[in-house]
Amino acid sequence: MRIALYPGSFDPPTHGHLSIIQRGLKLFDGLTVAVLKNPAKDAVFTVDERVELLKGALGGDKRVQVKTFSGLLVKFAQQEGVNTVLRGLRAVSDFEYEFQMANMNRKLDRGIETLFMMTGEDYFYISSRFVRDVARLGGDVAGLVPPNVLEALRRKFGPPQGAQK
């Protein structure tokens, strides 16, 4: 079976993330979505909450496993027996960072390949950071995240300001 690793913080998962997962499943037999435990980041959702949000958004698709990791992605890929990393790109600024990361990963393990996938045009502007900020400031993020994530954001920050209940 050909499995790829799709790593990220996913704080929170967005429609952009789900698009990359669904499109990645057209290229691979399965995906391991790897949720980064990064104590240096000030996360809105805990790692366990992000795992549950992803699982809920994926609707139990058996081709996708959701796991957590910390430390080097290359070491996690080696532990999982995976040699392909799937990454989504939205803009040139994403490419510069991802290009550096892919080259570092290849330096650490020559067997690791990174596959870049352009984000669908409907999702170029969506980032987890923007979703968090808009939700925190009382904006409506209904079209940006799956329904279960929207509910979780509203539990954290309340309904959009000025919105009908």
Query: Distances in Å between the alpha carbon of 154 and those of 131, 144, 160, 161?
Result: 12, 13, 8, 11
* pLDDT score recorded for residue 7: 98
Can you give the residue ranges of every domain in the chain? Answer: 3-125
pLDDT digits (tens, 9 = 90+) for 11-53: 999 999 999 999 999 999 999 999 999 877 789 999 999 999 9
Mean pLDDT across 47-66:
97
Q: Note if 19 is an active site residue.
A: no
What was the pLDDT predicted at 163? Answer: 55
- The pLDDT of 99-117, averaged and rounded, is 95
Give the tens place of pLDDT for each residue, 81-107.
999 999 999 877 788 889 999 999 999
How many CB atoms neighbour CB 62 within 10 A? 7
β strands within the chain, DSSP E: 3-8, 30-36, 64-69, 84-89, 113-118
**Catalytic hit among 41, 75, 107, 129:** 41
Distance, CA of 51 to chain centre: 10
Look at residues 51, 61, 70, 67 and name the one whose alpha carbon lies nearest to residue 149: 51
pLDDT for residue 115 is more than 90: yes
Q: Give the per-residue pLDDT at 42.
A: 84
Specify the higher pLDDT residue, 92 or 165: 92
- Is 128 assigned a catalytic role? yes
**pLDDT, tens digit (0-9, with 9 covering 90-100), for 118-162:** 988 888 889 999 999 999 999 999 999 999 999 999 999 999 987
The one catalytic residue among 37, 55, 90, 154: 90
**Residue 41 annotated as catalytic:** yes
CATH class of 3-125: alpha beta
Element (H, E) at 53: helix 47-58
The one catalytic residue in 15, 50, 87, 128 is: 128
Residue 68 has pLDDT above 70, yes or no: yes
Position 154 scores a pLDDT of: 96
**Claim: this prediction has a pTM higher than 0.85:** yes
Residue 164 is predicted with a pLDDT of 52
159-to-104, 119, 134, 152, 162 alpha-carbon distances in Å: 42, 28, 11, 11, 9
Backbone angles phi, psi at 64, to 5 degrees: -120, 125
Identify the pLDDT of residue 121: 87
133's tokens: 């900020």
Catalytic site residue from 17, 50, 87, 132: 17
The length of the chain, given as a count of residues? 165
